[in-house]
Amino acid sequence: MTEARLKAKLWVQATIRCCFAQGSSATVVRKGDEDAGAILIKQNLGAQGFRILSQVRTPDGEAAWLQATGAEAVAESVADAYIARQVDRDWDLWVIEIEDRNGHLPFDDRIL
């Protein structure tokens, strides 16, 4: 039996609301497939730079986020270039930008 998954659009809307409730700002930078689009998080850390998180599953099937641009923050141009490459491969991709200088995220999934 497969796990029921929340539609991408609903997950994005809930994440944005959680960001606002926690005092962060969030914006949909790119809309993807409403039902099953993959999601990238562009995390704006202010003067520290940016981090891209890609939605993945662990070998156990748990939801997690991969630090797609590495463990260290990168320049916005590097983050945007990564996003552009991913959009070229997946037209159904969602991109959400979350601005929180402390790096807080509105979800509890593991960061790999």
Instruction: Round to whole Å and give the CA distance between 67 and 53.
Output: 5
Give pLDDT tens digits for 8-36: 999 999 999 999 999 899 999 999 989 98
Sheet holding 63-67, edge to edge: 25-30, 94-99, 39-44, 50-57, 63-67, 110-111
Give pLDDT tens digits for 53-110: 998 888 888 888 999 999 999 999 999 999 999 999 999 999 999 998 888 888 777 7
The structure's pTM equals 0.87
CB 93 within 8 A of CB 38: yes
CB 43 within 8 A of CB 83: no
CB 45 within 8 A of CB 68: no
